[in-house]
Amino acid sequence: MSKRLFSLSFIVISLIIISLALSLSGCSKPVPPQGAFEQTIKIGLILPLKGDYEKYGTLCKNGIDLAIDEINAKGGVNGKNLEVIPGNDTSDGRIAASIALNYAEVQKVSAIIGPYTSESALLAAPIANRAGVPMVAIRTSETSITKIGNYIFRACYVDTYQGTILGRFAGRDLKAKKAAVIYNSGDNDAKTLINNFKQEIAKYGGKVETIQSYDSKTTDFTLLVSELQKVKPDVVLLPDFEDKAGQIMKKAAEMGFKTTYLGTDFWNVERLVKIAGKAAVGSYLTDHFSPEDPNPQTQKFVDSYDGDYGIKPGPSAALSYDAVMLVAEAMKKADSADPEKIRAALTSIKNFKGAAGTYTFDTDRNPIKGGVILKVLADGQTFEKRIEP
C-alpha cells in the first residue's frame, strides 16, 4: 500500500492545468459508446510499469493479463474480446492525468483500470470522471478519491475500514476485553480507524481503555509503554508503519510488558521482525488477500496465477485481477461497452465473488468486502482468518 504526504500547492497547480486541458479538449461530455465496427473492447491501464513502483506495477499487470486471457478464452464479453492498452505513469500524478486524458479523448476506452498509487489517482480521477469513463483504482486507499465523482470506483478497502476488521477480530476471535491504542498523531485517517475499532470491539464486550499518541519525530516510547502497563490490555492496536510499531514493541519487551499487537497493511512484516525481534512474533495484521486463504475462488485464482507465472500471487495481483473481472461483469450486466452503462452496472453489483473477496459497492463506490488476518511469524507471516463484513 502506498501512502505519501502530498504537496497541496503541487496538487492545486496540477488540477488547474488539468482543468484547462479538459476545457480546451471539450471533454465535459461522456465518451460516446463504441460503434459496431469496433472488434474489441478497449480497457486502459494506468500502472507504474517503470520507476520506483515498477515491481508492483508488474504484479498488477500480471493479474490483469490473467483476467483478460481467461475472459477472452471464454469468448470475451458480449461477443467481443477485451483489449488492454498499457499506460506507464511511473507513479507520477501528472503523467497519470495525461494518460487518462489520452484514454478519454483519443483511445476512447470503455473503462480504466488503475492507477495503483493514491497520488496518481488524485490527479487521474478528475479527468476520468469529467470525461465519463469509469475508473477502478487498485490499491488507492486514500478515502477522498472515490468522492471525486460518480465514475470513480476502487477494488481495495479504504484504510479506515481496517479498524472495523481488527475490532471484530479482537473482540470476537481473540475474546479481548481490554484494548489500548498507540498512534501517530500526524496520520489524518488514524482517528477514524481507531473510532471504527472502538465501535466494533464494543459489540463483543471489549473496551479501549487508553489511547496514546506520538509524532513522527518521537524515538523514546518509554512513557507510552508505561501507560500500557497501568492498563494491562489484552491487545494493543498500532496503526502505523513498521518502523514506529517495531520500536514500540521493542521498548515494551525491554520493559517486561507483554501483550498481543494488532496492525494494518502498513506493516512490512520482514522489517517489523528485524526491528522488534521476538516481540513482534504472534502479532496480527490485516491485508486484502492471502494466497493461503482456503476460499474456493481465491484458490482457483492462485492456481491459475501460479501456473502462468510460477509464483504465488499477492494482494496487488489479486486486486488487479478482480478489477478487470468487475468491469467485465458490469459489461455483461449492461450488455454494452458504453462507459455510462458500465458505470451504472458497476454500482448495482452485489456479492460478486472475486479472488480477494466478495464485492458489493457502497454509495461512495467503495467495496463492502472482507479482509484477511495474517499472523506474524519469526520467518514471515501466515494466514489466520478471513473476516467478512
Is 0.85 topped by the overall pTM? Answer: yes
Residue pLDDT, tens place only, 291-316: 999 999 999 999 999 999 999 999 99
What share of the chain has pLDDT > 70, as a percent? 90
Q: What is the pLDDT of residues 196-251, one digit of tens each?
A: 999 999 999 999 999 999 999 999 999 999 999 999 999 999 999 999 999 999 99
Say if residue 6's pLDDT is above 50.
no
pLDDT at 10: 47
For domain 161-287, say whether CATH 3.40.50.2000 is its number.
no
Mean pLDDT rounded to a whole number for the chain: 92
What CATH superfamily is the domain 8-156+296-369?
Answer: Response regulator (3.40.50.2300)
Banded pLDDT at 37 (limits 50, 70, 90): low
Q: Residue 111: is its pLDDT beyond 80?
A: yes
Q: Check pLDDT > 90 for residue 31.
A: no
Say if residues 357 and 318 touch (Cβ distance below 8 Å). Answer: no
The domains spanning 8-156+296-369 and 161-287 adopt the same CATH topology: yes
Per-residue model confidence (pLDDT) at position 142: 85
Encode pLDDT of 238-284 as tens digits.
Answer: 999 999 999 999 999 999 999 999 999 999 999 999 999 999 999 99
The pLDDT assigned to 148 comes to: 97
Lookup result for grid cell 510460477:
310
Question: Do the beta carbons of residue 306 and residue 312 sit within 8 Å?
Answer: yes
- Kindly state the average pLDDT of the residues 173-185: 98
The beta strands (E) that lie in the chain are given as 40-45, 81-85, 111-113, 135-137, 152-154, 178-184, 207-214, 235-237, 260-263, 284-287, 352-354, 357-359, 371-377, 380-387
Counting DSSP H helices and E strands in the chain, the numbers are: 12, 14
Every domain of the chain and the residues it spans: 8-156+296-369, 161-287
Q: Cell for 27?
A: 471533454
**Predicted confidence band of residue 123 (pLDDT cuts 50, 70, 90):** very high
